[in-house]
Structure 1
Amino acid sequence: MAGSSTRIRRLLADELDNCCEEDVEQRLDELRTLAETAFNDDSTRPVFAVLGNETRYRLARVLAVTDEELCVCELEPLVDVSESAVSHALSDLVDAGLVARRKDGNWRYYEATALAETLFETVDQREPTDE
């Protein structure tokens, strides 16, 4: 924390032209409150964590752009992993709320949830950045 408060002190000194220990403590308290607010109900974390894997991302993306349910056997060729790996990835996506599953006899069908569709639509609409 000492390194952080030193850098914050320098930042505040630049911004305020004058900085005292009370200013640093006040800012640190504000940042702690911000962190508590941001991470208090972190229900979105599983959504982003599950998309960090290439197979799960590709499956979610395919399901979000199709207008139909797809079976595991239809998804397997799209991600070049075993059927059991596809099933496991789909299970993770179901747990994260990005994919819905329906069983029909021996077959399991999957489709994107509204959350997944909205997430991908939102990202697709963003402006490209010049970096």
Structure 2
Amino acid sequence: MADSSTRLERLLADELGECCDADVERRRAELDAVADEAFATDDVREPFAVLGNETRYRLARALAVDGTERCVCELEALVDVSESAVSHALADLVAAGLASRRKDGNWRYYESTALADDLFAAAEQGSET
């Protein structure tokens, strides 16, 4: 903490020309307000955490790129993991709001959600810059 305070003091001194304890306290209050707002909810965290797993990422990406509803048996062919691992990964994607599920008799179908489509579109746009 002492090192970060020293660095913050140096930054403020560079920005303001000089720095006192009140300047540091004022900036810390600003940063606390940012943290309160940024970390007030973890609603947006889960989709990113879910996409941190390669199998879930590949399934979500495939659904988003394909743009159509796919049966579990079709999705199994895309990843080299067990049937139960695919089912578990898809359940996680549904829970995170990245895929929707529909059951038709013995078959379960999955489709990308608008959230997943938007996340991948934003990531692609960011990689172009």
* TM > 0.5: yes
Unaligned runs of 5+ residues in structure 2 are none
The residue correspondences of 1:23-38 to structure 2 (distance < 5 A) are 23-38=23-38
1:103 and 2:123 equivalent?
Answer: no
In structure 2, how many angstroms separate the alpha carbons of the residues matched to 1:13 and 1:29? Answer: 17
Write the deviation string for residues 45-104 of structure 1: whole angstroms up to 9, x where unpaired: 001110111100000000001132111111112111111000000000000000000011
Aligned residue in 1 for 2:8: 8
RMSD: 1.2
The runs of at least 4 consecutive aligned structure 1 residues that moved more than 3 Å come to none
Q: TM-score, normalised by structure 2?
A: 0.94
SS at match of 1:43: coil
Task: Tell me by how many angstroms 1:15 deviates.
Answer: 1.2
SS at match of 1:79: coil
**Equivalent position amino acid for 2:40 in 1:** N
In structure 1, how many angstroms separate the alpha carbons of the residues matched to 2:76 and 2:86? Answer: 6
Q: How many residues align?
A: 129
Q: State, as a whole percentage, how many aligned pairs show the same letter.
A: 68
In structure 1, how many angstroms separate the alpha carbons of the residues matched to 2:8 and 2:118? Answer: 38
